[in-house]
Amino acid sequence: MTDKYTQFVTKLSVNINKIAVLRNSRGGNRPDVLRAALDIERFGADGITVHPRPDARHIRYDDVRDLKRVLATELNVEGNPIPSFVDLVLETVPAQVTLVPDAPDALTSNAGWDTAAHRAFLTDMTARFHEKGIRVSIFVDPDPAMVAGAAACGADRVELYTESYARLHAAGDATALDAFAAAAEEARRQGLGLNAGHDLSLENLADYVRRIPWTDEVSIGHALIADALYYGLENTVQLYRRALKR
């Protein structure tokens, strides 16, 4: 007997920024970012995510160009749509661009867009990427109003910023997913696709997709690459895929 959610399949996109951090720390090309991405595809991931930043401290713009040439699965390029980033995305035409409002000196993404305050800007950016046939996802906090604002900007999807979920889940807070469920319901009402990312891990991923099974895609980097140090990259990708199965 199947349940009503067996129709949903959440895809796994692996963020490979941390592999590039290791490469850049020593110079040269070890580990090889392209080879790692192709191996991750071969091991069963549904896509590759990269987040190039202006200081090139991990993924570089040339990495994005090289990845687009060789990947068979979806490439998701995320970042703050500053002019150089916009030019890169329009040049490489990935399957998806995820707009993230991180400052140049941010250690990692730490907030979603205020889609009301930045509506004109995000609407313009979305239209520019749509002209190239690129799917647009807007990174938002788990707030139904921000989700509705993303729809008003013309986005195809939202990505829910899951840091607070991961933190509350680790503390055993039974309400950890309440705000995310409300935001996810709003996305469904608005006809938006639904992504999720930030601090998702083997410890909390299954609970997330069990509560919000219509999640289209999760983007996971730091935890997955850290787990690979212990379990091996192929096995780790498979562990995350199993965590997504309902």
As a whole number of angstroms, the distance between CA 113 and CA 205 comes to 23
| Residue-by-residue DSSP string for 191-215 | T-EEEEESS--TTTHHHHHHHSTT-
β-pair partners for 74: 47
Distance, C-alpha 176 to centroid of its chain:
20
As a whole number of angstroms, the distance between CA 11 and CA 196 comes to 10
Query: Does 169 participate in catalysis according to the annotation?
Result: no
Query: Does 51 participate in catalysis according to the annotation?
Result: yes
User: How are beta strands 157-161 and 96-99 bridged, if at all?
Assistant: unpaired
As a whole number of angstroms, the distance between CA 48 and CA 189 comes to 28
Helix (H, G, I), strand (E, B) or coil at 142: coil
Pick the catalytic residue: 51, 58, 169, 186?
51
Pick the catalytic residue: 74, 78, 186, 217?
78
Pick the catalytic residue: 169, 186, 198, 217?
198
Query: Does 78 participate in catalysis according to the annotation?
Result: yes
As a whole number of angstroms, the distance between CA 49 and CA 108 comes to 14
Alpha helix (H) residue ranges in 74-202: 83-92, 119-130, 144-152, 163-170, 178-190
Q: Which residues are catalytic?
A: 51, 78, 198
